[in-house]
Each structure stands twice: as structure tokens, then as C-alpha cells.
């Protein structure tokens, strides 16, 4: 058996232990009976960009790829809309979301080639990494029950530049201003990608993180799409397991009012510290004598799905009835046939994309 801690689990553990205790697959594993909220355009754009950057199609004419990118957006938006129960998503809201997404992707396709100084290697790829035990050098962390601990997450995009340096890239849809540079420097999820990847793909060191920020208002709805720009051909020497370099500017940002690309190099000491922090947090989360308590804070509680039982528990009462009525055990994660990054097919240059499920 393995004790898997996902990046979202780690975030929840640090945000509010009560919320984490109720929601985590490693704890009570409850989810609200009511459906998820409105359509997540961020997820839909990520799904579309997984096709845009699909390695097998990277050298295809962009006018062939562009309709496939839009199809991926449609598939994601309509799939999410189907999952909404209750009043559902009305047709107008669905169409508005699709129009916004298409406008944004058209504008992105005109801009991205000016900053895509790399070749994509993997998109939307899941990984699992063992965590070294700081107390026992050479050993991996195990739970008190002896289960191996694994850290899990999904990398949006892995790419290689002309210096044979590997980068992990995160797509972000931004509704307000760009992220503060310090917040990006401290972003533990993507630092953990850099730390974990060389363990998943032995020896493939990551040079740093790239934040691909896209403003949600980018592009004009209704404007006809221009012919998508050709991306640059970036020639690299090898495809695998070359140590990354950390020389050069630590942080570099460029962009427009609608898009920003920020590169941050991550050094060995930074990644080692990230691994040690992760080990300490996971040791605490997996311990048998962990205290569970709420961490009420307006910004955190506002988006929490466990407020009703939390209020009951805060009054010192039994929340069992509320949990039975409004929550259910989360089923195992479904295997998504044909998901990009599921990696049972070749993703190298020239490889055809998988057959996506037909909705
Ligand atoms: S409502 Fe707030 S305090 Fe309660 S579980 Fe949710 S996040 Fe934690």
C-alpha cells in the first residue's frame, strides 16, 4: 500500500485541518452531494492548451491545430456543464463561456509564438514521487503503519529550450492583476514539480518554472480569428536526462496587457529545502496523533464546501446527521480514456494525438 498525498491535499492540510479532514481521500473522503459550481474556464483553457502544446502536433501547421484546440475547449466546457446538476447551466451561459474561451485562445495563438522559445516534451502529465526521510538518509518516508508515502500532482507542460534545459510550465487564467513576483518565487506547488520530476524521470533535472498568465478578458468576442502565427523552431540537442543549468537571470518576465510569461530559475538548495518542507508537512499529516481544528478566516471559509458541518462542530454539537444528509463518500477517481498525458501512447514529434472520447 502507498499513502498518496496530492498537491491539493497538501494545500488543504495547510489551509484548514478541519476542511482537509473532511475532504481528503486519506481522511474522511467526503464531498458535497450537490454538484460542483459554475464552469471552470481555467480548466477548460488548460485542456485546450494541452492540445495547443501537444508534442506530436508541435510541427504541424497551426491552421490544422487551431480547430483541435477549440474542440478541446468545447469538450471541456460542455463536459463540465453536463456535470452540473440542479438548475444546471443555461444555454446562454454556456455559449458566453465558449465565446470568451475561443476569443481568448485566438488572441493567445497570435501572441504565444513570440515567447515560446522552447519545444514541448509532455503535456498534462501525472507524476508520483517518493519523499526522502530526513531522519534516515537513503530511505524514503513511510507512514506509522509502514506505507510508502508518495507525492502526486499533474504538470501542465514540460518543455526543453535551445540550451537543453528543461522547464515546467503552469498555465494561469488571471481575472485581476498579474501575480506578484514574490508570490511566484514562493509558489510551492510548482517548486514541488521541479523537486519531484527528476525522481519520476530519473535524472531529468528541471531548470526552473515558467508561469504562463493569461488575462480572462484577452481577445475580442466575435472578432474573426486571424491565421494563427507560426511558432519558432527551437533546436535542442538531446531529449532526455541532461542536468539543467541554473546560470543566468533568476527571474525574467515579459508580456502585454493580456498575457505575461515569467521564468524563474530554481537552484539545487531551493529544491532541497522544498523537499525537506514537504517531508515535514507529510509526516505531520500522516501522524496518528494529529490534532484537527478549524482555521476560520473570511477568505478561506467563503469558498469552503464544509461550512454547514463546521458551524455545527464549532457549537460543540454532533455533525453526523448533516454529514449523512448533505455529503457522500467520494468515488475513486475515474480513469479518463484518452486523456492527454495519460501516456500510454507516443507523444513525440510526428505522433498522432490520441482519439478523444466523443461527447
Ligand atoms: S468553514 Fe472555514 S474553518 Fe470551517 S472547515 Fe471550512 S475553511 Fe475550515
Whose CA is closest to 52, among 171, 221, 210?
171
Segment 176-220, tens digit of pLDDT: 899 999 999 999 999 999 999 998 888 799 999 999 999 999 998
3-state SS assignment for residue 64: helix
What pLDDT score was predicted for residue 348? Answer: 44
What distance in Å separates the CA atoms of residue 63 and residue 49, rounded to the nearest whole number?
15
Query: Is the C-beta atom of 304 inside 6 A of ligand 1?
Result: yes
Neighbouring CB atoms inside 10 A of 335's CB total 7
Query: Is the C-beta atom of 350 inside 6 A of ligand 1?
Result: no
Ligand 1 atom, smallest distance to 310 CA: 4
- Residue 302 confidence class, pLDDT cut points 50, 70, 90: very high
Which residue lies with its CA nearest to atom 5 of ligand 1?
19
DSSP string, 241-281: -------S-SEEEEE-SSEEEEEEE--HHHHHHHHHHHHHH
Query: Is the C-beta atom of 307 inside 6 A of ligand 1?
Result: yes
What distance in Å separates the CA atoms of residue 138 and residue 28, rounded to the nearest whole number?
32
Distance, CA 302 to ligand 1 centroid (Å)?
Answer: 8
Domain residue ranges in the chain: 34-286
What pLDDT score was predicted for residue 341? Answer: 55
Going by their DSSP bridges, the two strands 148-160 and 166-174 should be labelled as antiparallel
Segment 61-71, tens digit of pLDDT: 999 999 999 99
What distance in Å separates the CA atoms of residue 206 and residue 197, rounded to the nearest whole number?
7
- Residue 284 confidence class, pLDDT cut points 50, 70, 90: very high
What distance in Å separates the CA atoms of residue 204 and residue 240, rounded to the nearest whole number?
7
Number of helical (H) and strand (E) elements in the chain, helices listed first:
11, 9
Query: Is the C-beta atom of 18 inside 6 A of ligand 1?
Result: yes
Listed in sequence order, the DSSP H helices in the chain are: 7-15, 17-23, 41-52, 62-83, 91-111, 181-185, 188-200, 268-286, 298-301, 307-314, 320-326
Amino acid at each position: 500500500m502507498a499513502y498518496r498525498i496530492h498537491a491539493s491535499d497538501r494545500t488543504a492540510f495547510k489551509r484548514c485541518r478541519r476542511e482537509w479532514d473532511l475532504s481528503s481521500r486519506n481522511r474522511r473522503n467526503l464531498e458535497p452531494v450537490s454538484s460542483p459550481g459554475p464552469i471552470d474556464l481555467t480548466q477548460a483553457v488548460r485542456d485546450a492548451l494541452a492540445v495547443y502544446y501537444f508534442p506530436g502536433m508541435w510541427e504541424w501547421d497551426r491552421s490544422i491545430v487551431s480547430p483541435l484546440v477549440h474542440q478541446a475547449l468545447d469538450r471541456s466546457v460542455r463536459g463540465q456543464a453536463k456535470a452540473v446538476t440542479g438548475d444546471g447551466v443555461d444555454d446562454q451561459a454556456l455559449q458566453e463561456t465558449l465565446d470568451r474561451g475561443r476569443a481568448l485562445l485566438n488572441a493567445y495563438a497570435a501572441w504565444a509564438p513570440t515567447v515560446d522559445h522552447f519545444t514541448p516534451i509532455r503535456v498534462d502529465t501525472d507524476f508520483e514521487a517518493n519523499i526522502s526521510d530526513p531522519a534516515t538518509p537513503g530511505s524514503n518516508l513511510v507512514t506509522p503503519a509502514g506505507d510508502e508515502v508518495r507525492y502526486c500532482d499533474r504538470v501542465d507542460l514540460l518543455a526543453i529550450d535551445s540550451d537543453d534545459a528543461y522547464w515546467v510550465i503552469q498555465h494561469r487564467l488571471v481575472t485581476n492583476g498579474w501575480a506578484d513576483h514574490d508570490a511566484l518565487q514562493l509558489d510551492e506547488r510548482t517548486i514541488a514539480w521541479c523537486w519531484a520530476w527528476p525522481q519520476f524521470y530519473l535524472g531529468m533535472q528541471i531548470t526552473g518554472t515558467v508561469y504562463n498568465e493569461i488575462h480572462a478578458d484577452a481577445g475580442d468576442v466575435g472578432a474573426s480569428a486571424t491565421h494563427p502565427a507560426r511558432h519558432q523552431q527551437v533546436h535542442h540537442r538531446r531529449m532526455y536526462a541532461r542536468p539543467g543549468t541554473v546560470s543566468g537571470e533568476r527571474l525574467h518576465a515579459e508580456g502585454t496587457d493580456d498575457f505575461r510569461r515569467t521564468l524563474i530559475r530554481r537552484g539545487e538548495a531551493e529544491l532541497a529545502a522544498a523537499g525537506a518542507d514537504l517531508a515535514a508537512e507529510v509526516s505531520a499529516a500522516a501522524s496518528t496523533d494529529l490534532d484537527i481544528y478549524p482555521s476560520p478566516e473570511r477568505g478561506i471559509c467563503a469558498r469552503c464546501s464544509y461550512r454547514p458541518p463546521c458551524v455545527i462542530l464549532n457549537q460543540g454539537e454532533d455533525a453526523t446527521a448533516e454529514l449523512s444528509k448533505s455529503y457522500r463518500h467520494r468515488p475513486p477517481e475515474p480513469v479518463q480514456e484518452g486523456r492527454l498525458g495519460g501516456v500510454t501512447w507516443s507523444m513525440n514529434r510526428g505522433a498522432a494525438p490520441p482519439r478523444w472520447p466523443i461527447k
